Amino acid sequence: MSKRFIYLMGFITLLAFPLPSLLWMHFFEGMSFADFFQVENIRAIPILYGLEFGIVYAYIAIILLKAPIFDRIPLKFEHVIKSMKLTYFDGFFLSVCAGVGEELLFRSGMQYYAGIWITSLFFIAIHGYFSIKKPLMSLYGLVVLPFILLISLGFNHFGLWFSISAHFAYDIVLMYAIISDKSPSTPNNH
């Protein structure tokens, strides 16, 4: 995978992922664009809570992922990130794209209809973190599931910008940890 492809996927996540939810909520639920993006809720406190929660949970995940059982789980994202030699800016950009694009799709769109549990389970499943063929992969899904459930609950309580900032913070901490790790990557490492 080239960096150009990764940047293209980042832009697609940022711009195209929210589009179905935005259009559906606008045309079928009568929601204004400002309401969809929760413009009135762009406030420092929910954003700071989200950043704090994402950072703390990312460090908890990093500690859990150091358990010996995770050495046997092939988590592709780390291998891809290491093989591409991404910079810190690349990690920042991709974290913004995922935080904004995915939260607009899942929290502002899907969660409205499917609820917290189904949306969270679907989110984990489409990222490949639940696998019947590779049951050990589901362990990583179990590490991430509480985080996704909590940002889904946080969306209901604090709003969209809490969820976006938590997702962004979680991703950037993990990205920077992987980018900073100079050890060789193998397909069996996460």
pLDDT reported for residue 189: 35
pLDDT reported for residue 77: 67
Q: List pLDDT tens digits, range 65-104.
A: 888 888 877 666 677 777 788 899 999 999 999 999 999 9
Q: Which pTM value belongs to this model?
A: 0.91
Calculate mean pLDDT across residues 121-127.
94
Q: What is the DSSP letter of 159?
A: -
CA distance 31 to 35: 6
Structure tokens at 17: 């992922």
pLDDT reported for residue 175: 93
Calculate mean pLDDT across residues 22-38.
96
pLDDT reported for residue 100: 98
Half-sphere exposure at residue 52, Cβ-oriented, CA atoms within 13 angstroms: 7
CA distance 105 to 19: 8
Residue 181 has pLDDT above 90, yes or no: no
CA distance 57 to 44: 20
- The letter for the amino acid at 57 is Y
Calculate mean pLDDT across residues 16-25.
96
